[in-house]
Amino acid sequence: MFRGACTAPLISFIFRAEVTFVGYTKKKEMIAMLLAGGQGSRLGVLTRSVAKPAVPFGGKYRIIDFPLSNCINSGIDTVGVLTQYRPLELNAYIGSGQPWDLDRIYGGVFILPPYVKDKSGEWYKGTANAIYQNMQFIEIYEPEYVLILSGDHIYKMDYGRMLKAHKEKKADCTIAVLRVPMEEASRFGVMNVEDDLRIYEFEEKPEHPKSNLASMGVYIFNWKKLKEYLIKDESDETSDKDFGKNVIPAMLKAQERMYAYEHEGYWKDVGTIESLWEANMDLLDPEVPLELYDPHWRIYSRNLTLPAQFVADHAKLQNCTVSEGCYIDGNVADSIIFPGVTVEEGARVYKSVIMPESVVKKGARVEYAIVSPESFIGEGAVVGSWDGGETEDLHRPITVLGQGAEAKAGEIIPAGTVLEERKKGGE
């Protein structure tokens, strides 16, 4: 018999599925479908062995903790998580959903990978196709509305308020938007709207944007209406099977009732090394409106049981977070330190993200870096060496160490270097 982290989630899924199909499931007003299958290729070595939503963030979280926590805080207790790329760690992390109060008999969290249907199976071909392939799951709960989410954004949002606005507008589709600086709008999908926020045009990364209302990748659809368009889109051999490229433009062309819902607050797509580093640093900036200490809107996560962090005599800590199980005897400033990290005497960590179980040896220096789990930085090594003088944070290249990477004693690793995983001792 196989034993391990995946056993409990599988049993939980089978049990809830059996209960569901014998007719005990209650009808849900709205369920969420969380798209978490992306490879996250722009994150490079950070997603070499895990899906992007499973990447550690903020000292004790994973990226996927934010949409999952938003769901339960918003009263949504049924979530389908659509996985595809390297799903093992993400599946084991979510498990039965207990940390997010999603271990329900009627509803809960379900892992939804691609699967064989009849005599064949296929990968998810796009965001719309991923939902299409799971229509049977959605139909179990007979929802009035379906909430579509991405698993790679950092934000706090009450989806219940968005649903209220959707109902008031009698909308077929509501798209969450965020006002961005006009000079940055060309990086996003942009919604052009009437005075009442009805969408009349959608532009994907326009060279000359007419609006600064950027799509957040958060949609509420009337399920019956969405189902029509998913079936129609699936039969179109020229379609990319994508919400932004196909389904939303088709609904606009048909003059369906589509509205924008303006989100006020922090939101960041952490799809690049730079944006992931920036989002971690934002947690240390009191001017950034991402409050993780709010008892009324907690961000839940699955955490190991570790002893409290130990801060030794020579340690100096300034504007940083240090998680459980850490041993700190060096100088740490403006940094995020994950559980189980060791920073020895004389070591300096500055403007960096040090992920779980990594070691920074005596006299080493780490600056403007993301250090993946279980990495080793040898005595006197310099990670992120920079001779470009003083510069703004956003213009200094971020150095990245892949999982289990080693910087040898005395080694100088220039700023912007990506260090692949290496075995200790040069093996």
Q: Residue 195, SS3?
A: coil
Q: What is the mean pLDDT of residues 96-123?
A: 83
For residue 117, name the pLDDT band (cuts at 50, 70, 90). Answer: low
For residue 19, name the pLDDT band (cuts at 50, 70, 90). Answer: very low
For residue 418, name the pLDDT band (cuts at 50, 70, 90). Answer: very high
Per 3-state DSSP, what percentage of the chain is helix, strand, and coil (rounded to 5)?
25, 25, 45
The predicted pLDDT at position 390 comes to 64
> Which has the higher per-residue pLDDT, 82 or 37?
82
For residue 324, name the pLDDT band (cuts at 50, 70, 90). Answer: very high
Please check the confidence at residue 376 and state whether its pLDDT lies above 60.
yes
The predicted pLDDT at position 392 comes to 59
Q: What is the mean pLDDT of residues 214-236?
A: 96
Give the burial string for 372-407 (b: 16+ CB within 10 Å, else e): bbbbbbbebbbbbbbeeeeeeeeebbbbbbbbbbbb
Q: Which residue has the tokens 């000292």?
A: 59
The predicted pLDDT at position 88 comes to 84
For residue 44, name the pLDDT band (cuts at 50, 70, 90). Answer: confident
The predicted pLDDT at position 343 comes to 98
> Which has the higher per-residue pLDDT, 389 or 164?
164
The predicted pLDDT at position 122 comes to 73
Query: Measured between alpha carbons, how far is 277 from 280 in angstroms, rounded to an integer?
Result: 5
The predicted pLDDT at position 105 comes to 87
The predicted pLDDT at position 304 comes to 83
Name the residue among 335, 312, 307, 331 with its Cα closest to residue 322.
335
Phi, psi values for residue 214, rounded to 5°: -90, 135
**88 Cβ partners below 8 Å, 6+ apart?**
6
For residue 427, name the pLDDT band (cuts at 50, 70, 90). Answer: very low
Write 113-121 long-range contacts (CB < 8 A, 24+).
Answer: 113/37, 113/82, 113/83, 113/84, 113/87, 114/84
Please check the confidence at residue 109 and state whether its pLDDT lies above 70.
yes
Q: How confident is the model over 165-223, as pLDDT tens digits?
A: 999 999 999 999 999 999 989 989 999 999 999 999 999 889 999 999 999 999 999 99
Please check the confidence at residue 123 and state whether its pLDDT lies above 70.
yes
Q: What is the mean pLDDT of residues 387-395?
A: 66
Name the residue among 176, 36, 4 with its Cα closest to residue 113.
36
Q: What is the mean pLDDT of residues 134-154?
A: 95
Q: What is the mean pLDDT of residues 374-399?
A: 85
The predicted pLDDT at position 119 comes to 57
Residues 60/303, Cβ–Cβ less than 8 Å: yes
Residues 94/71, Cβ–Cβ less than 8 Å: no
Q: How confident is the model over 236-255, as pLDDT tens digits?
A: 999 999 999 999 999 999 99
Q: Residue 279, SS3?
A: helix
Q: Is 337 exposed, middle or buried (0-12, 13-18, 19+ CB in 10 A)?
A: buried
For residue 86, name the pLDDT band (cuts at 50, 70, 90). Answer: confident
Q: What percent of the chain is modeled with pLDDT above 70?
A: 89
Amino acid making up residue 156: K
Please check the confidence at residue 356 and state whether its pLDDT lies above 70.
yes
Strand 61-62 to 365-367 pairing: unpaired
Name the residue among 73, 68, 1 with its Cα closest to residue 36.
68
The predicted pLDDT at position 393 comes to 58
